[in-house]
A and B are shown apart, each in its own frame.
Chain A
Amino acid sequence: QLQLQESGPGLVKPSETLSLTCTVSGGSISSRSFYWGWIRQPPGEGLEWIGTTYYSGSADYNPSLKSRVTIFVDTSKNQFSLKLISVTAADTAVYYCARTIVATNFYYYYMDVWGKGTTVTVSS
């Protein structure tokens, strides 16, 4: 059974870099059938897609975050990671990683397995 687990610091200072890792167990991140993504949810708010990556290293990002985000894969560790630079209080959120299924031309696109989420607070 596939499981995803987020890990990383729970507190980040403003202007610094937020770094999170998602460890995949029960399946291979190198599978050609799946993509791997990050989604976040600020306190009391809705869901926001951050970006998605593939085992090959290619990635798509939310245009509103693109200048600050990098998502990359480490196939040797069966992990993928998120880096978000120059954080502010607006980046405080629960961050989720998720396995993503994507069709050609994005006809269908959905997250079918989610991690439990990790809370990141941006504060000095």
Chain B
Amino acid sequence: QSVLTQPPSASGTPGQRVTISCSGITSKIGSNTVTWYQQLPGTAPKLLIYSTNQRPSGVPDRFSGSMSGTSASLAISGLQSEDEADYYCASWDDSLNGYVFGTGTKVTVL
């Protein structure tokens, strides 16, 4: 079972800002950074954000990551139709001694 909880769904119209939360960042995870992956329908996951707020080369700057307290967030500003996908947070959990993925959030562009 995942210890990182995400809302099952989020939606917005083109151009809007959408935020996805990732809660359950306990003290055992909080010392480690959070990663976000994007999974387009029928494809493998893709690295979107690493080290909580860093974007790999090629990822648009409308994707941003942040952390506050026991929750991490992914924000998509200027939502586009191609952003319709599943998004997962993830981090190393020192107490479980393993890598954990969040429950996943399906983003729909209305």
Pick from A48, A106, A110, A116: contact of B44, CB below 8 A: A116
Tell me which residues across on chain B come within 8 A of A62, comparing CB atoms. Answer: 98-99
Tell me which residues across on chain B come within 8 A of A116, comparing CB atoms. Answer: 43-44
Query: Quick one: closest A residue to B93, CB to CB?
Result: A106
Interface of chain A: mostly helix, strand, loop or mixed: strand
Tell me which residues across on chain A come within 8 A of B2, comparing CB atoms. Answer: 46
The interface size of chain A toward B, counting residues with CB under 8 Å, comes to: 23
The interface size of chain B toward A, counting residues with CB under 8 Å, comes to: 29
Binary CB contact string for chain A from 82 to 120 against chain B (1 if under 8 A, 0 otherwise): 000000000000001000010000111111101111000
- Are A112 and B88 in contact (CB-based, < 8 A)? no
Compute the total of residue contacts between A and B using a CB distance below 8 Å.
68
- Are A109 and B92 in contact (CB-based, < 8 A)? yes
Residue B110 at the A interface, CB < 8 A?
no
Tell me which residues across on chain B come within 8 A of A110, comparing CB atoms. Answer: 35, 47, 50-51, 90
Q: Which of B44-103 contact A (CB under 8 A)?
A: 44-47, 50-51, 56, 88, 90-92, 94, 96-103
- Are A49 and B101 in contact (CB-based, < 8 A)? yes
- Are B97 and A114 in contact (CB-based, < 8 A)? no
Roughly how many angstroms separate A117 CA and B102 CA in the complex, as a whole number?
Answer: 20
Pick from B46, B47, B56, B97: contact of A63, CB below 8 A: B97
- Are B35 and A109 in contact (CB-based, < 8 A)? yes
Residue A79 at the B interface, CB < 8 A?
no
**Which residues of A pack against B, CB within 8 Å?**
39, 46-49, 52, 60-63, 96, 101, 106-112, 114-117
